[in-house]
Amino acid sequence: MALALRWLRPLPSLLHRSSFLLTRGLPGAPSGYPALLLEGCRQCGHQVLLSRQLATKKAKGKGQSQAKVNISAALVEDIINLEETNEDMQAVIEALKEDFSRNISVRTSPGALDHITVVTKDGKFPLNQLGQISQKSPQLIIVNMTNFPESTAAAMKAIRESGMNLNPELDGTMIRVPVPKVTREHRENLVKLAKQSTNKSKEALRKVRSKSISQVKKSKSKVSEDTIWLLEKQIQQMADEAVAEMDKLLAAKTKELLG
């Protein structure tokens, strides 16, 4: 037993030195050393670097905090563009922020109606491209449909079904939109809209995640299972962080709406 331990004791340092040489392409190798073997060693070195990313994670016991996956994007760029995946996820978050800012507020403003989608026989258009929107008073918004009178009925329907609790009234080619009173019920309805919008954003995020993981799995024949597993963990971690950010946005918006 003692003899075996003496043999094993220098093993870690030997492994460390070997991985050091592998990642540097074995500069001290003989000139006739097979190029294929050198390339294989480089790939092994890459794998060592990847595997180390989660070394501490695997060592953690149940119930203990786990280390985050942090794979170098450059190291796996031939498998997936992690930066692009992150940008796609951030774009979903930014779209949610914009929706909260533009469409979900206690006080209805003319700008909140701008991008209501109107379905006409010629296609779909934002309301502000079909009508002139202005605020007549704090309690009334006017949509002038003089330029596109044939789209007045479609605009009325779009406003009514926008989910903003609006009940438009028609006066010739003018659409009168009374601004809802700020009641508790109105505030709670806005919170429901905010939750619906957040859920739609989370669904969009899941599509980004699924697309990225599917792309990673296509490389199963080229890279090891450990690399695939690490990349899937990295993508899931990015998605989890994005969901957490959305939940923070929803919490802040809920607090703002309920007062």
Q: Structural domains in the chain?
A: 73-103+183-258 (1.10.132.20), 110-178 (3.30.1360.40)
Residue type, 157: K
Q: What is the pLDDT of residues 90-141, one digit of tens each?
A: 999 999 998 888 878 877 777 878 888 999 999 999 999 999 999 988 889 9
If one counts every other C-beta atom within 10 angstroms of the C-beta of residue 20, the result is 11
pLDDT tier at 251, thresholds 50, 70, 90? very high
Does the structure show a pLDDT above 80 at 64? no
Residue 66 pLDDT class (50, 70, 90 cuts): low
Distance CA(66)–CA(54), nearest Å, equals: 9
Q: What is the pLDDT of residue 205?
A: 97
Residue written as tokens 């492994």?
A: 15
- What is the mean pLDDT of the segment spanning 9-28? 43
Q: Please calculate the CA angle 203-205-206 and round it to the nearest 5 degrees.
A: 65
Q: What is the 3-state secondary structure (H, E, C) of 42-110?
A: HHHHHHHHHHHHCHHHHHCCCCCCCCCCCCCCHHHCCCCCHHHHHHHHHHHHHHHHHHHHHHCCCCCCH
Query: 183: which 2 tokens?
Result: 């009641």
Which backbone phi and psi does 142 adopt, to 5 degrees?
Answer: -115, 135
**Mean residue pLDDT across the chain:** 78
Q: How confident is the model at residue 86 (pLDDT cuts 50, 70, 90)?
A: very high
The answer, yes or no, to whether residue 40 has pLDDT greater than 80, is: no
Q: What is the pLDDT of residue 222?
A: 85
**What are the two backbone dihedrals, phi and then psi, of residue 177, each rounded to the nearest 5 degrees?**
-120, 95
Closest CA to 74 of 46, 102, 53: 46
- Pick from 208, 207, 204: which is nearest to 99 by CA? 204
Express each pLDDT in 136-164 by its tens digit. 888 899 999 999 999 999 999 999 988 77
pLDDT value for 138: 82
3-state helix, strand, coil in the chain (%, to 5): 60, 10, 30
Q: With cut-offs at 50, 70 and 90, classify the pLDDT of residue 179.
A: confident
3-17 pLDDT tens trace: 444 444 444 444 444
- Structure-block tokens of residue 198: 């957040």
Q: Which residue has the higher pLDDT, 105 or 206?
A: 206
Element (H, E) at 174: strand 174-178
